[in-house]
Amino acid sequence: MHMHKLEKIWLTFGISCLVIFLAVIGVSAFYLGNKPPSCLTTINPEKVDETKPFDKPGLHKVEGKDWDYELVYVAAAFSYSPAKVEVPLGAKVKVIATTKDVVHGFEMAGTNVNMMLEPGYVSEYTTTFDKAGEYLIVCNEYCGAGHHLMSSMIEVVK
C-alpha cells in the first residue's frame, strides 16, 4: 500500500509530538521526584511527636540565626497544632511545618505563605510580620471529611 505524502508528514509530526511530550513528562518527573520544591528536609511521619522541633509545636525565640523566632506546626486530620499563637509585631519568623498523616495545605490568608505539607517532609518559610492583626491559616489541599474545619490563627500583636 502506498502512503500519501501528506499523511506521512502528519504521522511523523504526531509521533514527534508524542515523543517530546513523553520526554518532558519524564524529565520533570526525574527532576522533581515526589518532593515539593520547598521540602528539603525529611522526617519519619510516624515519629513526628518525638522529632525535634515538632515535639514542641508553637513559637520559640531563637538566637544567632537570620530569623528571630521559629514557629513550629504539626498538621494532622483535621487540625493544626498550635491552634492559635501570638507573634510580636515586626518579628522575623521561620515557619516550620509537617504533617502526621496525609497531605495538607498551609495557606496564610493575606500573605505569601502558601505551603504544601507532605508526610515525610518538612516545609519551611521565613516571613516578617510587619502588620498587626489576625492571620488565618487554612488547609487548601483536600484531605478528607474535615478538610474545611482545618484552621489555625496567628495574632500579630504590638
13 contacts ligand CUA (rule: CB under 6 A): no
Side chain identity, residue 82: P
Among 143, 152, 154, 156, binds ligand CUA (CB under 6 A): 143
Contacts of 58 (CB under 8 A, 6+ apart): 71, 72, 82, 85
Among 13, 56, 142, 157, binds ligand CUA (CB under 6 A): 142
Q: What binding mask, one character per residue, do residues 90-129 give for ligand CUA by CB under 6 A, x or -? A: --------------xx------------------------
Question: Which one of the spans 5-13, 17-25, 127-135, 138-146 is the region binding ligand CUA (CB under 6 A)?
Answer: 138-146
Among 139, 152, 154, 156, binds ligand CUA (CB under 6 A): 139
- CB closer to ligand CUA, 70 vs 141: 141
How far is residue 69's CA from residue 119's CA, in Å, rounded to a whole number? Answer: 24
| Residue whose C-alpha cell reads 483536600 in the numeric block | 142
Residue 138: helix, strand or coil by DSSP?
strand
Kindly state the smallest distance separating residue 86's Cβ from ligand CUA, in Å: 23
Nearer to ligand CUA, 67 or 151 (CB): 151
Question: Which listed residue (141, 152, 154, 156) binds ligand CUA by CB under 6 A?
Answer: 141
Contact 129, 93 (CB under 8 A): yes
Instruction: Give φ, ψ of 61 to 5 degrees.
Output: -75, 135
Across the chain, the runs of DSSP E, i.e. the strands, are 41-42, 58-61, 69-76, 79-81, 84-88, 92-99, 104-108, 114-117, 121-128, 133-138, 151-157
Contact residues toward ligand CUA (CB under 6 A) are: 78, 104-105, 139, 141-143, 147, 150
